[in-house]
């Protein structure tokens, strides 16, 4: 039994009803709304032999970097491997299997091959785009999608998602004007597309257009957060804008509300919570018991060591809460990660470990050590994933450490960089003013 999806691709083992559930899951994934896992479970219940439904479920449990997701994904892939599959579907199984074994770059290449052969395979494009984000591969964030765009047009379901993904890739490659145009076009086609909203937010952030960014996200606050499993990250962007505008109260209110009010245990949402609290901590905001509540949640996955970017954000929470035992657990998990033969071993060894140790050193008041460790990885930090906006925390921490360590000349150079990139930024000007008042060696 073989059906076809809305763009003509074979779906081995699907019937009309399960095909409909699969299409619903795809749309939810493209917009970051609803519950795509529930929808795909419905497809599997209707058609247990639906190969791509099992593969889709595996991707859903891998692309969140949740430690518990790996076992679920492997079960899904065992089911898929026992079913009939055409060449495209077999390639998806191989790609998801590579990802389930932390071979991120292999998974990326396999998905690249699928999309080159079948540019209308939007699952291959979106899963690959996610991997490009987690591996910090800015050029592929853009070009994976650019290659497929000529095969698409506005009449095709999911075209908005291509525009949103292309927009984000353009932004990560520094083409902010085109990124904004593509992202806004994606939102115009599908107002529920949280990734397209997010791509425009990034383009505005990187230009220091914080007031425009506030206006952009506020203009859709009744749209993009609704039933969205990506809303916390867009709320985080709004809080970052308020920090740039110098409104610390607004940023803290957003943290206490939509960013962390629910005390989420979802890894990607805990990353946003850690990143926001650390930024507020660097600005000298009194945070009370907020670190403790967040550290409680991170403590359940402190031993995971499955993705280096997560480790650094767990360390922020444990440093903020003063939890030395949990800090040691993160470092022990990294030791185990670096002993393995997979891509996360390299992510950890090259960037994750130095950043995690720098965060710990900063928390202990070892400013020079924190500065030196971050200086050593700043230029290669993309290797452990995240976006430019997220990795800006490395620069912010390094600059603050330089000031506290008395590295006036280097701090002055870093502040000049920041002012050149964001001349209207109040925090950038504040850094420059603080550094101007520092004593200089004669």
55 HSE (CA, 13 A, CB side): 28
- Give the residue, 375 or 440, on which the prediction is more confident: 375
Tokens 């070009």 correspond to what residue? 143
Judge if 125 and 98 occupy the same domain.
yes
Say if residue 4 is exposed, middle or buried (CB neighbours under 10 Å; 0-12, 13-18, 19+): exposed
Q: What share of the chain is helix, strand, coil (3-state, %, to 5)?
A: 70, 0, 25
Q: What is the CATH number of the domain that holds 103?
A: 1.25.40.10
Which of these three, 111, 134, 157, is where a domain ends?
134
Residue 112 to residue 352: CA distance in whole angstroms: 26
First to last CA, the chain: 81
The tens digit of pLDDT for each residue in 116-160 reads 999 999 999 999 999 999 999 999 999 999 999 999 999 999 999
Provide the pLDDT for residue 344. Answer: 98
Judge if 9 and 71 occupy the same domain.
yes
Q: Measure CA 427 to chain center.
A: 24
Which of these three, 112, 134, 156, is where a domain ends?
134
Judge if 54 and 115 occupy the same domain.
yes
Contact 387, 133 (CB under 8 A): yes
Does residue 241 fall inside a structural domain? no
pLDDT band, residue 442 (cuts 50/70/90): low
Furthest-apart CA atoms within the chain: distance in Å: 81
Contact 360, 316 (CB under 8 A): no
Please report, to the nearest 10 degrees, the dihedral formed by the alpha carbons of residues 340, 342, 348, 351 taken in order: 140
Judge if 160 and 209 occupy the same domain.
yes
Does residue 80 fall inside a structural domain? yes
Residue 391 belongs to what H/E stretch?
helix 388-404
Contact 376, 396 (CB under 8 A): no
213's CB contacts (< 8 A; 6+ apart) are 201, 204, 205, 237, 238, 241
- Cα torsion 89, 93, 99, 100: sign: positive
Which of these three, 195, 230, 265, is where a domain ends?
230
Judge if 165 and 130 occupy the same domain.
no
The tens digit of pLDDT for each residue in 78-117 reads 999 999 999 999 999 999 999 999 999 999 999 999 999 9
Does residue 161 fall inside a structural domain? yes
- The structural domain count of the chain equals 2
Residue 208 to residue 215: CA distance in whole angstroms: 13
Does residue 142 fall inside a structural domain? yes
Provide the pLDDT for residue 438. Answer: 87
Does residue 287 fall inside a structural domain? no
Contact 38, 110 (CB under 8 A): no
Provide the pLDDT for residue 147. Answer: 98
The tens digit of pLDDT for each residue in 225-284 reads 999 999 999 999 999 999 999 999 999 999 999 999 999 999 999 999 999 999 999 999
pTM of the model: 0.97
Does residue 242 fall inside a structural domain? no
Judge if 107 and 164 occupy the same domain.
no
- Cα torsion 363, 367, 373, 375: sign: positive
Residue 11 belongs to what H/E stretch?
strand 10-12
| Res. 1: pLDDT tops 60 | no
Provide the pLDDT for residue 333. Answer: 98
Domain containing 205 equals 137-230
Judge if 2 and 91 occupy the same domain.
yes
Judge if 157 and 224 occupy the same domain.
yes
- Percentage of the chain beyond pLDDT 70 is 99
Judge if 9 and 114 occupy the same domain.
yes
Enumerate the β-bridge partners of residue 228.
Answer: 33
Provide the pLDDT for residue 337. Answer: 98
Judge if 147 and 123 occupy the same domain.
no
Judge if 118 and 210 occupy the same domain.
no
Does residue 128 fall inside a structural domain? yes
Contact 402, 410 (CB under 8 A): yes
* Helix ranges (DSSP H) in 47-174: 51-62, 69-81, 87-100, 104-117, 122-134, 138-148, 159-172
Does residue 392 fall inside a structural domain? no
Judge if 113 and 182 occupy the same domain.
no
């Amino acid at each position: 039994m073989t059906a076809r999806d809305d763009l003509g691709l074979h779906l081995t083992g699907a019937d009309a009803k399960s095909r409909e559930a699969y299409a619903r899951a795809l749309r939810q994934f493209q917009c970051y709304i609803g519950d795509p896992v529930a929808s795909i479970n419905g497809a599997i219940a209707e058609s247990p032999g639906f190969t791509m439904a099992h593969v889709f479920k595996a991707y859903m449990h891998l692309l969140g970097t949740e430690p518990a997701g790996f076992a679920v994904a492997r079960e899904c892939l065992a089911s898929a491997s026992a079913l009939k599959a055409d060449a495209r579907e077999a390639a998806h199984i191989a790609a998801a299997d590579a990802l389930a074994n932390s071979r991120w770059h292999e998974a990326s290449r396999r998905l690249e091959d699928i999309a080159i052969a079948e540019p209308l395979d939007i699952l291959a494009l979106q899963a690959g785009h996610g991997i490009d984000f987690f591996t910090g591969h800015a050029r592929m964030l853009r070009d994976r999608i650019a290659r497929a765009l000529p095969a698409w047009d506005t009449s095709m379901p999911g075209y908005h998602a291509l525009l949103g993904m292309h927009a984000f890739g353009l932004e990560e490659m520094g083409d902010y004007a085109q990124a904004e145009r593509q992202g806004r076009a994606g939102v115009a086609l599908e107002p529920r597309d949280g990734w397209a909203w997010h791509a425009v937010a990034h383009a505005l952030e990187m230009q220091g257009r914080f007031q425009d960014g506030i206006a952009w996200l506020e203009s859709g606050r009744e749209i993009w957060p609704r039933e969205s499993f990506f809303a916390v990250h867009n709320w985080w962007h709004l809080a970052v804008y308020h920090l740039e505008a110098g409104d610390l109260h607004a940023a803290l209110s957003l943290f206490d509300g939509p960013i962390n009010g629910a005390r989420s245990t979802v890894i990607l949402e805990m990353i946003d919570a850690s990143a926001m609290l650390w930024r507020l901590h660097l600005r000298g905001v009194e945070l009370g018991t907020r670190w403790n509540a967040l550290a409680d949640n991170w403590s359940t996955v402190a031993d995971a060591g499955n993705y280096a970017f997560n480790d650094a954000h767990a360390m922020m929470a444990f440093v903020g809460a003063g939890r030395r035992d949990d800090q040691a657990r993160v470092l022990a998990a990294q030791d185990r990660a670096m002993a393995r033969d997979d891509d996360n071993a390299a992510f950890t060894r090259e960037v994750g470990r130095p950043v995690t140790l720098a965060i710990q050193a900063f928390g202990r008041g070892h400013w020079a050590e924190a500065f030196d460790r971050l200086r050593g990885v700043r230029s290669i930090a993309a290797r452990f994933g995240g976006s430019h906006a997220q990795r800006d925390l490395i620069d912010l921490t390094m600059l603050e450490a330089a000031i506290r360590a008395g590295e006036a000349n280097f701090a002055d150079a870093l502040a000049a960089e920041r002012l050149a990139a964001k001349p209207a930024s109040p925090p950038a000007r504040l850094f420059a003013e603080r550094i101007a008042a520092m004593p200089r060696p004669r």
